[in-house]
Copies of this chain bind each other. A is one copy, B any other.
Amino acid sequence: MAIANTSRRVPEPALLIEGLRAMLGERCSVNPGILDRHGHDESYHETHKPDVVVFPESTEEVAAIMRLARKHDAPVIPFGVGTSLEGHVAALEGGISIDMGRMNRIVEVNAADLDVLVEAGVTRKQLNNDLRDQGLFFPIDPGADATIGGMASTRASGTNAVRYGTMRENVLGLTIVTADGRIMKTGGRARKSSAGYDLTRLFVGSEGTLGIITEVRLRLYGIPETMAAAVTPFPTIADAVNTVIGVIQSGIPVARIELLDEMQMKASNLYSKLDYAEQPTLFIEFHGSERGVAEQVELVKAIAAEYGGGEFRWSVKPEERTKLWQARHDAYYAGLSLRPGSRGWPTDVCVPISRLAECIVETRKDIEASGLLAMILGHVGDGNFHVTILVDPDYPEELRRAEAFNDRLVDRALAMGGTCTGEHGIGFGKIAFLEREHGEAVGLMRLIKQTLDPENRMNPGKIFKA
């Protein structure tokens, strides 16, 4: 992967590093491999290395780092595990990458109130492993095992959002370190509040550009009494999507409803050694009481049948459920394996569900016309779907074709009342789309950025151009 020539900003990096070393000792690194790993995420975007990576262990340390960054005019970029997809962690102007990995304590589980306080570096799988014995879980599940801080910063969602919402709905409060190194709490433990501006939701989705999230209070859920999984193939992608629309409009509270197109199913059969029909397929999950789940399954089955849905495989047994979902879980890597050496360019539009079938069908046609190798899979219950374009970053012409395709896709989604990003965020990859989507309101966002971070120190070059 290309490593960009960054326009460096820190006037005297040696002094900055010296100051950080004095504060953090070994927990401050300029090792080239570590700098490189902190300069890029899982997407096709180019690497921009920071000057230094630090590993704080407390909110107070993060605040001290911020004050030092100010002294040395260094940009600060928060880093979780680097699984973002729009270049969020790239150090576009150099500076300090704050790796939150050592802030991974689960501070306080309130089982009775269904809430938990975690440090920002806790990953979602770590959290769920910890919660399982108490019969609780946290449903938001972007594909990767991301950190909770990273998920809050990109307003992540995943397969369960159709039932449980996104990070927007499930963050109750935050601890923030501001650009001038102060520590602040937002939100609280009450389920609802009308006390002042909703700072929590201002920071959720702000991609590290307004402050550093060091702690997150989350809403939890009881593990459902019964969970059932179902897989069913359809003659066409429109039939599959129309089934989804029917399910959502009937108000059936499915926990997950995911679409994999024909190409994705081919890749998944190959990669995961499965024998699913190579047709557009829905993966569905049901949560509830035994009777409730049985009722949901019946209703969905009837709707699927109306649209020519094939064999409706379903199961409530954990090991069979896992097997049924395997193709979905491995989908991204299965896709990549179709073209060794390629990188994924995952698009992320989300449209009103009434326009979803039209949007996906047109997009599939555009893929064919563009001569791109790409799969469609999506959180279709929310109207959100990803096209994973397999690109070879060494071929600029191919990147340009992918870019032009994505451009058309975003225009199509915006024309339908949708958004350029359902869950990945803007990073530095979608800045132009943000303007196209929100127009004049971007000026207001920028004003808030300038107010909270007047020196443009917090993850500069993300969401907006400097």
A residues sitting closer than 8 Å to B (CB atoms) are 110, 112-115, 154-157, 161, 165-166, 168-169, 178, 182-186, 188-199, 201-202, 204-206, 210, 221-222, 224, 245, 248-251, 289, 291-292, 295, 348, 350-354, 382-384, 417-426, 430, 433-434, 437-442, 444-445, 447-452, 463
* 20 pairs from A and B in contact (CB 8 Å cutoff): A112-B245, A155-B192, A157-B192, A190-B352, A191-B382, A192-B423, A194-B421, A194-B425, A195-B425, A195-B426, A195-B430, A196-B426, A196-B434, A196-B442, A196-B445, A198-B205, A199-B444, A202-B448, A291-B295, A448-B448
Given contacts A112-B352, A188-B417, 10 further A-B contacts (CB under 8 A): A185-B440, A190-B384, A190-B418, A191-B382, A194-B348, A195-B421, A195-B433, A197-B448, A197-B463, A291-B291
Q: Given known contacts A250-B222, A418-B189, A451-B447, is B245 in contact with A194 (CB within 8 Å)?
A: no
Q: Given known contacts A168-B198, A291-B291, A442-B196, is B419 in contact with A190 (CB within 8 Å)?
A: yes
Q: Given known contacts A448-B448, A451-B451, is B292 in contact with A195 (CB within 8 Å)?
A: no
Task: Report A251 CB to chain B, min CB distance, Å.
Answer: 4
Checking B112, B202, B295 against A201 with a beta-carbon cut-off of 8 angstroms, the contacting residue is B202
Task: Report A245 CB to chain B, min CB distance, Å.
Answer: 7
Which B residue's beta carbon lies closest to that of A416?
Answer: B189
Task: Report A178 CB to chain B, min CB distance, Å.
Answer: 7
Which B residue's beta carbon lies closest to that of A440?
Answer: B184
Which B residue's beta carbon lies closest to that of A169?
Answer: B169
Which residues of B sit under 8 angstroms from A222, Cβ to Cβ?
Answer: 249-251
Which residues of B sit under 8 angstroms from A249, Cβ to Cβ?
Answer: 112, 114, 222
Which residues of B sit under 8 angstroms from A417, Cβ to Cβ?
Answer: 188-190
Report copies per complex.
2
Which residues of B sit under 8 angstroms from A425, Cβ to Cβ?
Answer: 194-195
Task: Report A288 CB to chain B, min CB distance, Å.
Answer: 8
CA distance A210 to B451 in the complex (A): 15
B205 with A434: CB separation less than 8 A: no
Q: Given known contacts A114-B249, A202-B202, A251-B221, is B190 in contact with A444 (CB within 8 Å)?
A: no
B422 with A193: CB separation less than 8 A: yes
Q: Given known contacts A292-B292, A434-B195, is B351 in contact with A190 (CB within 8 Å)?
A: yes
CA distance A168 to B169 in the complex (A): 9
CA distance A70 to B262 in the complex (A): 59
Which residues of B sit under 8 angstroms from A448, Cβ to Cβ?
Answer: 197, 202, 448, 451
CA distance A161 to B157 in the complex (A): 22
Which B residue's beta carbon lies closest to that of A464?
Answer: B196
> 5 closest pairs, A vs B, by CB?
A189-B417, A193-B419, A112-B354, A201-B201, A190-B350
Checking B186, B248, B449 against A441 with a beta-carbon cut-off of 8 angstroms, the contacting residue is B186
A350 with B193: CB separation less than 8 A: yes
Which residues of B sit under 8 angstroms from A178, Cβ to Cβ?
Answer: 444
Task: Report A346 CB to chain B, min CB distance, Å.
Answer: 13
Q: Given known contacts A419-B188, A444-B452, is B426 in contact with A194 (CB within 8 Å)?
A: yes
Task: Report A434 CB to chain B, min CB distance, Å.
Answer: 5
Which residues of B sit under 8 angstroms from A441, Cβ to Cβ?
Answer: 184-186, 196, 199
Checking B184, B193, B442 against A421 with a beta-carbon cut-off of 8 angstroms, the contacting residue is B193
Q: Given known contacts A192-B166, A250-B222, is B204 in contact with A439 (CB within 8 Å)?
A: no
Which B residue's beta carbon lies closest to that of A223?
Answer: B251
Which B residue's beta carbon lies closest to that of A201?
Answer: B201
Which residues of B sit under 8 angstroms from A210, Cβ to Cβ?
Answer: 197
Which residues of B sit under 8 angstroms from A193, Cβ to Cβ?
Answer: 155, 350, 419, 421-422
CA distance A452 to B446 in the complex (A): 11
Which B residue's beta carbon lies closest to that of A355?
Answer: B113
Which residues of B sit under 8 angstroms from A186, Cβ to Cβ?
Answer: 438, 441
Task: Report A318 CB to chain B, min CB distance, Å.
Answer: 19
Which residues of B sit under 8 angstroms from A438, Cβ to Cβ?
Answer: 185-186, 195-196
Which B residue's beta carbon lies closest to that of A178?
Answer: B444
CA distance A113 to B383 in the complex (A): 10
Which B residue's beta carbon lies closest to that of A299?
Answer: B289
B418 with A188: CB separation less than 8 A: yes
CA distance A387 to B230 in the complex (A): 48
Checking B184, B424, B437 against A188 with a beta-carbon cut-off of 8 angstroms, the contacting residue is B437
A194 with B352: CB separation less than 8 A: no
Which B residue's beta carbon lies closest to that of A161?
Answer: B192
